[in-house]
Amino acid sequence: MQIESADLCPFGSLRGRPVTQIRLTDGPCSAEILTYGAALRSLTVPDPTGKPVDLVLGFDTVEDYVNQDCYIGAIVGPVANRIGGAACLVNGRALALDPNEAPNCLHSGLAGFDKAIWTVESASDRAVTLSHVHPDGLGGIPGDLRVSVTYTLAGRCLRIDYRAVSDRDTICNPTNHSYFNLNGHESGSVEGHSVCIHAARFTPADAAGIPTGEILPVARTPMDLRQPKPLRAGLSAEYAQLRLARGYDRNWAPDGAGFRRIAAVCGDRSGIRMTVWTDRPGVQFYTGNFLPAPLPGKSGAVYGPRAGLCLETQAFPDAPNHAGFPSIALKAGEIWTSRTEYRFDAAE
Ligand code: BGC
């Protein structure tokens, strides 16, 4: 482990194992990351007047993290989102995944990356690399999957770099499941935020959130967020894809390929804007529809439905079961990497 001038402190323990918090700082910005779930626990940036605002939901104790099932701040994987029937094929071999949202598998079941205590590989004042081995067969996923995630704070940008390699052919599609509230994590509903997703197409899904396999145009639907739109306007629309999920909870296919800007969100009260950049083909835009109420959060905050929104960069949900979706297959020995950035500035 390489630790230079890093700020590490005990956060608690789980089944006798310590959980550590790593604090990154760059100028007026800071981030706190936990070894439990490699979760982003806080992300503080100044608003246009210079006042620090913590933009992500989080908790004060390990127990609070363990006792929720909303994946708050965590790295989710090996395969984010849903696999229909908790079943798919890898090289023609049927996998039986964990049907934790029966009959489907959500976020890799009950033993995914979010439940693991990750190892600190290296840490400095601006970056931390955490690693984890997801053992062969756990949750039905083949191969010892060695994964690492590096969080880097670079000015008003939080970068997340992923790296994974498996010793058997497998499937790999991790994400980060932070809930952002650009008015501040404790400020209530995000319905006043404006949202823009640079995507002409999205993947509709059934009542259980399993994609139909279509990739449909957003044009003339409330899924068209190509111009910034107040969330409240979209959320109140009579549209089956919104009603089925009690709000936004679908995968968009952002335009273009390679590392590009895919979304922008503005806090209506803070004047803070976040832009999202990634090399992934998809993004799950989720408006925290299923957050329970009341959900006690850090520093006395109380969360509930729509207390935060997620922009989970990913390949499309249920990809192995839809030939038309980009593949999430990972060959044995192949090194898979990916980058996502959340950048902050003042709303225009
Ligand atoms: C899913 C939601 C789910 C949530 C769990 C999101 O990625 O799309 O349907 O409820 O994760 O917190």
Residue nearest to atom 4 of ligand 1 (CA): 70
Predicted confidence (pLDDT) at residue 345 exceeds the cutoff of 80: yes
Query: Residues of the chain with pLDDT > 70: what percent?
Result: 99
Minimum-distance ligand 1 atom for the alpha carbon of 245? 9
Minimum-distance ligand 1 atom for the alpha carbon of 249? 8
The 3-state DSSP class for residue 113 equals helix
Query: Residues of the chain with pLDDT > 90: what percent?
Result: 98
pLDDT at 196: 98
Q: What is the mean pLDDT of the chain?
A: 97
Mutate to test the pocket of ligand 1, among 83, 107, 114 (most ligand atoms within 8 A of CB): 107
63 DSSP assignment: H
- For residue range 72-115, list pLDDT tens digits in order: 999 999 999 999 999 999 999 999 999 999 999 999 999 999 99
- For residue range 245-294, list pLDDT tens digits in order: 999 999 999 999 999 999 999 999 999 999 999 999 999 999 999 999 99
Close Cβ partners of 55 (under 8 Å, ≥ 6 residues apart): 43, 44, 45, 180, 181, 182, 184, 185, 272, 274, 344
What spacing in Å lies between the alpha carbon of 170 and ligand 1's midpoint?
A: 23
What spacing in Å lies between the alpha carbon of 225 and ligand 1's midpoint?
A: 20
The 3-state DSSP class for residue 335 equals coil
Whether the CB of 286 sits within 6 Å of ligand 1: yes
Whether the CB of 312 sits within 6 Å of ligand 1: yes
Residues with active-site annotation = 177, 312
pLDDT at 119: 98
Whether the CB of 249 sits within 6 Å of ligand 1: yes
Predicted confidence (pLDDT) at residue 224 exceeds the cutoff of 80: yes
Predicted confidence (pLDDT) at residue 341 exceeds the cutoff of 90: yes
- 143 phi-psi bin (left φ>0, alpha ψ -120 to 50, beta other): left
- Give the CA-trace dihedral at 22, 271, 308, 260, to 10 degrees: -70
pLDDT at 347: 84
Mutate to test the pocket of ligand 1, among 105, 241, 249, 252 (most ligand atoms within 8 A of CB): 249
Whether the CB of 71 sits within 6 Å of ligand 1: yes
Q: Which amino acid is at 173?
A: N
- For residue range 200-212, list pLDDT tens digits in order: 999 999 999 999 9
- Residue closest to 219 by CA, chosen among 204, 243, 235, 201: 201
Instruction: Name all domains of the chain by residue range, CATH numbers in brackets.
Output: 2-346 (2.70.98.10)
Band the pLDDT of 348: cuts 50, 70, 90: confident
How distant, in Å, are the alpha carbons of 8, 29, 97, 108, 151 from that of 32?
10, 11, 32, 25, 10
- Distance between CA atoms of 327 and 329, rounded to whole angstroms? 6
Band the pLDDT of 3: cuts 50, 70, 90: low
Band the pLDDT of 4: cuts 50, 70, 90: low
What spacing in Å lies between the alpha carbon of 318 and ligand 1's midpoint?
A: 13
How many Cβ atoms sit within 10 Å of the Cβ of residue 2?
Answer: 10
Minimum-distance ligand 1 atom for the alpha carbon of 209? 9
Minimum-distance ligand 1 atom for the alpha carbon of 317? 8
Phi–psi pair at 139, nearest 5 degrees: 70, 10
- For residue range 15-58, list pLDDT tens digits in order: 999 999 999 999 999 999 999 999 999 999 999 999 999 999 99
- For residue range 116-161, list pLDDT tens digits in order: 999 999 999 999 999 999 999 999 999 999 999 999 999 999 999 9
Band the pLDDT of 2: cuts 50, 70, 90: low
Whether the CB of 104 sits within 6 Å of ligand 1: no
pLDDT at 342: 98
The residue written with tokens 């404790």 in the block is 186
pLDDT at 6: 80
pLDDT at 204: 98
Whether the CB of 239 sits within 6 Å of ligand 1: no
